Amino acid sequence: MAKPEVEFKTPEEELEYARKSLTKAGIAESQFEAIRQTEGTPAGYSKEMLGLRRWMVQELLAARMSNRQIANVLQLSKQTVDADRKFNRQLYTEEILKNQDVHRARLLKEQMDLKDLALDSFEKSKKKRVITMMEGGDDGGKEMIKVEESAGDPAFLNVAKNSLVEQAKLLGLNEAKREVQQDNSYRKFLKDLSSTIAKEKEAKATDERRQNSLPAKAVSFDAQEEPEAWPDTIPLQTVNEDDY
């Protein structure tokens, strides 16, 4: 259990500290005593008294008192103080979110007005020039009037573009796009990983086939001289000279 930030020697000192803290917050002595006497009564708390009790709990928390100390001085159960703290926290969170929505809506309207103003200024920045000329020559020709319009100032278009970008950020559209990009990147990573694994398996299978195959004899395709073939004959007998 966390140690309270403020410690008291006696219950009377604890009660007096709470009384002064609530008085400083604008709570009357009679209201303080009414809350202390209401807990456990058959009638219970009215709507006003319930709101007052939660206000007191919040003020005493701000005065650095613990849940048990608050329960002691207001004569409440610790569970009641815990419930009031939870309610106050939820109410505070909802109020923050509400203020954020109001602030976002105000910024969104400002960006929309800025975009409209930039587009209107772009149209006004266009310059028109009227040219009068004679068709068919100066003598007896027909007079023609030509109106030329120059392009507007591109700086206004940049302002309108930036305004649209800010509107997308306020609406959360950029975050959605970023999530899609991250998803695509992850899918690409899985695809590359699967392709790499398949290539590794194929290379391993090829090595195994090479190791299990029989060694082949080296075959030479160079021209070799064939031995000269002799006819099948009976060798001559050796004849001695003395026989003649």
- The string of pLDDT tens digits covering residues 27-40 is 999 999 988 888 66
pLDDT confidence of residue 55: 92
Spatial separation of the C-alpha atoms in residues 26 and 14, rounded to whole Å: 19
The single-letter code of the amino acid at 152 is G
Tokens of residue 147, six digits:
């109106």
Encode pLDDT of 95-141 as tens digits: 877 787 788 888 888 888 888 898 888 888 888 777 777 666 556 56
**Lowest mean pLDDT, pick from 5-9, 68-72, 97-101, 110-114:** 97-101
Spatial separation of the C-alpha atoms in residues 66 and 76, rounded to whole Å: 13
For 66, phi then psi, to 5°, come to -85, 170
Find tokens 């006004």 and name the residue.
Answer: 124
Spatial separation of the C-alpha atoms in residues 63 and 185, rounded to whole Å: 52
On average, the pLDDT of the chain sits at 77
Inform me whether the pLDDT recorded for 146 exceeds 80.
Answer: no
CB 83 within 8 A of CB 19: no
Please state the rounded mean pLDDT for residues 2-16: 82
Please state the rounded mean pLDDT for residues 195-219: 70
Range 43-51, long-range pairs (CB < 8 A, 24+ positions): none
E-only strand ranges, the chain: 128-135, 142-149
Q: 184 versus 51: which is more confidently predicted?
A: 51
Tokens of residue 200, six digits:
């590794």
pLDDT confidence of residue 178: 54
3-state secondary structure of 39: coil
Percentage of residues of the chain with pLDDT beyond 90: 22
